[in-house]
Amino acid sequence: MKRYEKLAADIEEQVRQGVLPPGEQVPSVRQAAQQHRMSVGTVVRAYLLLESRGVIESRPQSGYFVRARPGEDAPALRVSQPSARPSAVDVSALVLSTLRSIRVHDAVPLGSPYPDSSGFPWRRISHYAGAIARSHAQWSLLDDLPPGNPELIRQIARRYLENGHPVDPHEVVITLGATEAINLCLQAVARPGDAIAVESPTFYAMLHAIERLGMRAVEVATDPVTGIDIDALERIIDAEGIAACMVMPNFQNPLGFQMPDAHKRRLVELLTARNVPVIENDVCGELYFGDAHPTSLKTYDTAGIVLHCASFSKTVTTAFRIGWALPGRYRGEVERLKFLNTLTTPSIPQRAIAEYLRNDGYGLHLRRVRRLYAQQARIMAAAVRRFFPPGTTLSQPLGGYVLWVQLPDGVDAMDMYHAALERRVTVAPGHMFAPGDTYRHCIRLNFSAPWSPRIEGAVQTLGQIAAHLLARRG
């Protein structure tokens, strides 16, 4: 193979894998010549070959771009149409069995709810934790009673300020991850038997909180691009007497959308007018693929009705479950419930993360993770389009690390889940993300791990399973 043919083949492979998605500009001729230590003439021949194959196209005075091919993009997801009636929640058994299956020896964890930890600074944080433990001869629960460690609270408030959304540090309550924050906030605003409005589909941790407290979930139609249908929510509030709303406006799990600012503002205005508190899960807010940190519902809250929840589990370490809540006017009740439920959050993890935030370039770490996830999102989507049967539709995540896949009607997600597990691949079946079986043809895939032949092989296996199930039903 001649040098220009080798360069053309390498670029074509990057396009195939989604590293260079449709519409993306490829390096200029001069840049490519420098990068690959080739002559300009060699690069020009490679680009002309790729252009003749329909892989790239030349745009006058702009350069070369990856060409979109007919049928390359999967059809877009449609707005969900769930039942608007309150229903009891019972998804914990399925979620627990699914999470246990992820630990199967040598399984590819595409069903994992957790980000790949290989790129996390856990060594640095463990170093800080060890140093802190050695430097204190005695520890007392009184050291970090609610609301939590003062230095960690200061660093959290500083991070919001750096992102252009200042908060009152006195509002922060440190928790055992975002899960405890969500549970405490829900317990503060609603009672057993109350109806809670949720997105459909929604992250199962929200459903767990509703189930644990004996409440009922009301699914609200959700657009895969703009988020919860505010008009539908307004009708449900008026008809059902909703006690609270639970949403994930930024990089929602499992759909991955970022609710537009105008929708966030309108949602807060509606709930303020109806005096309905809203619990905001912003655990993926730092994992955006765009150029600027997204706003949150908290940004538009003037009445204290937004109970904002987040954690470091998705960005720093999953080993230390450290989260926090900004509960607005419910802060006192959330702090009281925190004390009654778990007394305090472990002190050493709080202090170790505070030291890391103060000294180790958290922003630089996040920029690297965001670039990696954005690239892997494109690669995973391209692989699903390539290997899965026609009729498969995909979400278009703007952040986070999960992809929502809607399979053709003949493929049941639970059948696919069991068949994949036999092949040492895990997926998250859509049944986990709603009280009923609305999403029985959907799965969620995790793309946080660096792309590898093993992961590509697992996606290909899933495509083969889907095709087999479809043919069997046909």
Both 319 and 463 in one domain: the answer is: no
- Tell me the percentage of the chain whose pLDDT exceeds 90: 67
Which domain CATH number covers 56? 1.10.10.10
Token pair 């993300």: residue: 433
Assess whether 354 and 374 both reside in one domain.
no
Q: Are residues 246 and 163 in the same domain?
A: yes
CA pair distance 408, 417, nearest whole angstrom: 15
- In terms of Cβ atoms closer than 10 Å to its own Cβ (0-12, 13-18, 19+), residue 268 is buried
313 plus 372 within the same structural domain? no
The DSSP code for 387 is H
CB-based contacts of 103, cutoff 8 Å, min separation 6: none
Would you state the pLDDT for residue 68?
67
- Beta carbons of 317 and 177 less than 8 angstroms apart: no
Q: For residues 379 and 457, is the Cβ–Cβ distance under 8 A?
A: no
Choose among 337, 198, 355: nearest CA to 280.
198
14-18, 135-139, 338-342: range with lowest mean pLDDT: 135-139
Listed residues 362, 395, 413: the one ending a domain: 362
Q: Which pLDDT score, from 0 to 100, does residue 318 have?
A: 83
Q: Is residue 105 part of a domain?
A: no
Q: What SS3 state is found at 65?
A: strand
Instruction: Return d(Cα 269, Cα 230) in angstroms, integer.
Output: 11
Report pLDDT for 446: 97
Residue 297, pLDDT score = 98
- 63-77, 128-142, 341-355, 372-386: the lowest-pLDDT one: 63-77
Residues 36 and 173 in one domain: no
pLDDT of 90 > 80? The answer is no
Q: What is the mean pLDDT of residues 245-268?
A: 97
Tell me: do 225 and 249 sit in the same domain: yes
Mean pLDDT of 177-197: 97
Task: Tell whether 229 is covered by a domain.
Answer: yes
What share of the chain has pLDDT > 70, as a percent? 93
Q: How many residues does the chain have?
A: 474
Please check the confidence at residue 342 and state whether its pLDDT lies above 70.
Answer: yes
Both 339 and 422 in one domain: the answer is no
Average confidence score pLDDT of the chain: 90
Q: Is the peptide bond before 115 cis (omega within 30 degrees of 0)?
A: no
439 part of a folded domain:
yes
Residue 98 lies in a domain: no
Q: How confident is the model at residue 340 (pLDDT cuts 50, 70, 90)?
A: very high
Query: What's the rounded Cα separation, in Å, for the pair 173 and 157?
Result: 11
- In one-letter notation, the amino acid at residue 444 is R
Name the token pair of 457: 């092989």
Q: Is there a domain that residue 191 lies in? A: yes
CA angle 123, 125, 130 (to 5 degrees): 95
Beta bridge partners of 149: none
Give how many domains the chain has, as a whole number: 3
Q: What is the CATH number of the domain that holds 174?
A: 3.40.640.10
User: Given this model, what pLDDT does residue 84 score?
Assistant: 66
Q: Is residue 193 part of a domain?
A: yes
Full residue range of the structural domain in which residue 387 is found: 367-473
Does residue 85 register a pLDDT over 80?
Answer: no
Whether residue 224 is found in the same domain as residue 146: yes
Please state the rounded mean pLDDT for residues 233-247: 94
Same domain membership, residue 307 and residue 201: yes
Q: Specify the DSSP element, H or E, that contains 254.
A: none
Q: What is the CATH number of the domain that holds 434?
A: 3.90.1150.10
148 and 238 share one domain? yes
Which residues sit opposite 108 in a β-bridge? 425
pLDDT of residue 200: 95
Among the candidates 362, 386, 407, a domain finishes at: 362
Structure tokens at 365: 């770490």
Confidence of residue 18 (pLDDT cuts 50, 70, 90): confident
User: Is residue 419 domain-shared with residue 317, that is, in the same domain?
Assistant: no
Rounded mean pLDDT, 5-13: 91
Assess if residue 16 is contained within a domain: yes
pLDDT at 16: 81
CA dist 182 and 334 (Å) reads 10
Q: Is residue 318 included in any domain, yes or no?
A: yes
Last residue of a domain, one of 308, 343, 362: 362
| pLDDT tens for each residue of 260-317 | 999 999 999 999 999 999 999 999 999 999 889 999 999 999 999 999 999 999 999 8
Q: Clarify whether residues 57 and 130 are in a common domain.
A: no
Q: Token pair 């290989």 is at which residue?
A: 118
